[in-house]
Structure 1
Amino acid sequence: MLKHFALAAAVLGGLVMPAFAGDITVENAWARASAGPARAGAAFMTIKNTGDADTLVSAKADISKKVELHTHIHDNGVMKMRQVENIAVGTGMTMLQPGGYHVMFMGLNEPLKEGTSFPLTLVFDKAGEVSVDVMVKAAGAMGQGKMKMKMKTN
Structure 2
Amino acid sequence: MKKILFSLAASALLATLPAAANEVKLGALKISQAYARASVPGQMSGAAYLKLENTGKQADRLRKASSAAAESVEIHTMEMSGDVMQMRAMEDLALPAGAKVEMQSGKGAHLMLMGLKAPLKAGQTFPMQLEFEKAGKVEVMIKVEAPKSGK
Which of 34, 41, 45 is 2:46 aligned to?
A: 41
2:130 corresponds in structure 1 to 122
Give the Å deviation of 1:23: 0.5
Q: What TM-score do the two structures reach when normalised by structure 1? A: 0.79
RMSD: 2.1
> Percent of counterpart pairs with the same letter?
36
Q: How does 1:17-56 map to 2 (within 5 A)?
A: 17=21, 18-51=23-56, 52-56=58-62
Once the two structures are overlaid, the 10-residue window that deviates more, 132-141 or 24-33, is 132-141
User: TM-score when scaled to structure 2?
Assistant: 0.81
Unaligned ranges ≥5, structure 2? 1-13
Unaligned runs of 5+ in 1: 1-8, 148-154
For 1:127 and 1:34, locate their aligned partners in 2 and report how far apart those are by CA, in whole Å: 31
Partner of 2:108: 100
Say which SS state the counterpart of residue 101 (structure 1) adopts.
Answer: strand
Q: Which structure has the greater CA radius of gyration?
A: 2
**Number of residues paired by the alignment?**
134
Instruction: Return the alpha-carbon distance in structure 2 between the equivalents of residues 118 and 12 of structure 1.
Output: 21
- Structure 1 segments of 4 or more deviating over 3 A? 11-15
The structure 2 residue matched to 1:78, chosen from 76, 79, 84, is: 84
